[in-house]
């Protein structure tokens, strides 16, 4: 038979109400009594009923996360970190996919707010006003979007793009094309910021094209336009777009990296497995997911008013799609 709260109370020689307080509001119970209750619960293997605990604490024991596209392995990488950390904290995770639609994204955040203790929004496309409204109805943490007053886990895309430009310039490239991601993407804006600073610093030519869908088809669509500009290197918004570029270059008989170099961004599993293996920037996906949950739980447990924006480092991974430009 399952161990009940009455069994714990009997073992600890306290009332059921004291056990309830020791588990849900430990600061309200004397340390000696609290320790006795916790020891009894541990020895008996007591697991609090989530629904009953919710009635006491007003918490659901659930967290929500909204992502733009579950087909994109970038977001499944983030989810690995979110779920692992939530599981450690005894929280369940509800996942929703907005399919890159801003109206759907806002609706999902509002719907989740009624069912969870807090929501993580990955790379949100909705505007600042909508995000502030969402933060007013639930505990909100963003991943890869900076907004004053809202906690965020951030991956340093600007630094990653500067590393790509430094690498290409060191190889001798002087004419670069960048294939933009979504117009509303904060990550794309950060990439462009790092890109422009680096190309200006090195005095090399930069041609920006797009925006394009951040998918394989977006790379196919963008490749012919990029080739028409006659660059020596093509930089894609993300790895999936870069795979589309590589496929289209292969169809047109353009050799990589002999005729043109190609870079991606994110360092997804496919980047190492494609042919040739893709030069890209590694993003700390699982670490960012873990951090987002920690920021959310910190706010829930302490009610703290401090808003933290935490930047995580990115790292260039050099593989076989980049080399010196043709003579």
Q: Return the CATH number at 223.
A: 3.40.50.2300
What pLDDT score does 247 carry?
Answer: 98
Check residue 305 and give its pLDDT. 58
Mean of pLDDT over the chain: 92
Residue 140 within any structural domain of the chain:
yes
Assess if residue 278 is contained within a domain: yes
Residue 9 or 82, more confident: 82
Do both 252 and 166 map to the same domain?
yes
Residues 216, 130, 96, 118, CA torsion sign: positive
- Tell me what pLDDT residue 55 has: 45
pLDDT of residue 234: 98
Closest CA to 41 of 54, 59, 22: 22
In order, the DSSP letters of 79-119 are HHHHHHHHHHTT-EEEEEE-TT-HHHHHHHHHHHHTTSSEE
| More confident position, 257 or 38 | 257
Last residue in a domain, options 13, 34, 57: 57
Same domain, 197 and 151: no
Specify the higher pLDDT residue, 211 or 24: 211
pLDDT band at 1 (very low <50, low <70, confident <90, very high): low
- Does residue 319 belong to any structural domain of this protein? no
Q: Residue 33's domain is classified under what CATH number?
A: 1.10.260.40
- Are residues 217 and 149 located together in one domain of the fold? no
Shared-domain flag, residues 226 and 161: yes
On whether residue 37 sits in a domain, the answer given is yes
Domain count, the chain: 3
Q: 237 lies in a domain? A: yes
Whether 185 is covered by a domain: the verdict is yes
Q: What is the CA radius of gyration of the chain?
A: 25
Distance between CA 110 and CA 137 in Å, rounded?
A: 8
Average pLDDT over residues 67-76: 94
Shared domain for 53 and 66, answered yes or no, is no
The residue-averaged pLDDT of 106-130 equals 94
Q: What is the mean pLDDT of residues 164-192?
A: 97
Check whether 51 has a pLDDT greater than 60: no
For the chain, first and last CA: distance in Å? Answer: 78
Position 127 confidence tier, pLDDT thresholds 50, 70, 90: very high
Q: Is 122 helix (H, G, I), strand (E, B) or coil?
A: strand
| Residue 237 sits in the same domain as residue 95 | no
d(CA 204, CA 36): 69
295 and 151 in a common domain: yes
In a domain, 323, yes or no: no
Q: Which structural domain range is residue 215 located in?
A: 157-283
Q: What percent of the chain has pLDDT over 90?
A: 76
> What pLDDT sits at residue 44?
86
CA angle 192, 268, 84 (to 5 degrees): 110
Residue that finishes a domain, picked among 57, 85, 100: 57
Q: Which band of pLDDT confidence, cut at 50, 70 and 90, is reported for residue 195? A: very high
Position 318 in a domain:
no
241 plus 162 within the same structural domain: yes
Q: In this structure, are 217 and 119 located in the same domain?
A: no
Check residue 8 and give its pLDDT: 87
Weakest-pLDDT range from 50-64, 103-117, 145-159, 284-298: 50-64
* Averaged pLDDT for residues 143-163: 96
The predicted pLDDT at position 223 comes to: 98
Whether residues 15 and 27 fall in one domain = yes
Residues 143 and 289 in one domain: yes
User: Residue 53: is its pLDDT beyond 90?
Assistant: no
Does residue 213 sit in the same domain as residue 273? yes
Whether residue 306 is predicted with pLDDT greater than 60 in this model: the reply is yes
């Amino acid at each position: 038979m399952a161990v009940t709260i009455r069994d714990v109370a009997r073992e600890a020689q306290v009332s059921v109400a004291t056990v309830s307080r020791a588990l849900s509001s430990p600061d309200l119970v004397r340390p000696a009594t609290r320790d006795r209750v916790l020891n009894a619960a541990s020895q008996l293997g007591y697991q609090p009923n989530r629904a009953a605990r919710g009635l006491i604490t007003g918490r659901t024991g659930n967290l929500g996360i909204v992502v733009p596209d579950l087909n994109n392995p970038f977001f499944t990488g983030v989810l690995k970190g979110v779920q692992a950390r939530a599981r450690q904290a005894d929280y369940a995770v509800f996942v929703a996919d907005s399919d890159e639609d801003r109206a759907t994204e806002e609706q999902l955040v509002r719907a989740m707010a009624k069912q969870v203790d807090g929501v993580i929004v990955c790379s949100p496309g909705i505007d600042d006003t909508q995000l502030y409204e969402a933060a007013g109805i639930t505990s909100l943490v963003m991943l890869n979007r900076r907004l004053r007053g809202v906690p965020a886990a951030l991956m340093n895309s600007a630094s990653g793009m500067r590393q790509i430009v430094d690498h290409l310039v060191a190889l001798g490239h002087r004419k670069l094309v960048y294939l933009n991601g979504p117009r509303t993407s904060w990550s794309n804006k950060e990439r462009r910021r790092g890109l422009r600073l680096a190309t200006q610093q090195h005095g090399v030519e930069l041609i920006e094209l797009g925006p394009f869908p951040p998918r394989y088809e977006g790379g196919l669509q963008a490749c012919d336009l990029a080739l028409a500009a006659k660059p020596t290197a093509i930089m894609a918004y993300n790895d999936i777009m870069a795979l589309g570029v590589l496929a289209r270059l292969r169809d047109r008989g353009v050799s990589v990296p002999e005729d043109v170099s190609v870079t991606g961004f994110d360092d997804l599993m496919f980047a190492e497995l494609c042919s040739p293996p893709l030069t890209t920037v590694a993003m700390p996906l699982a670490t960012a997911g873990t951090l987002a949950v920690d920021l959310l739980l910190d706010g829930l447990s302490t009610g703290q008013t401090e808003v933290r924006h935490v930047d995580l480092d990115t790292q260039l991974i050099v593989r076989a799609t980049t080399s010196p430009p043709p003579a």
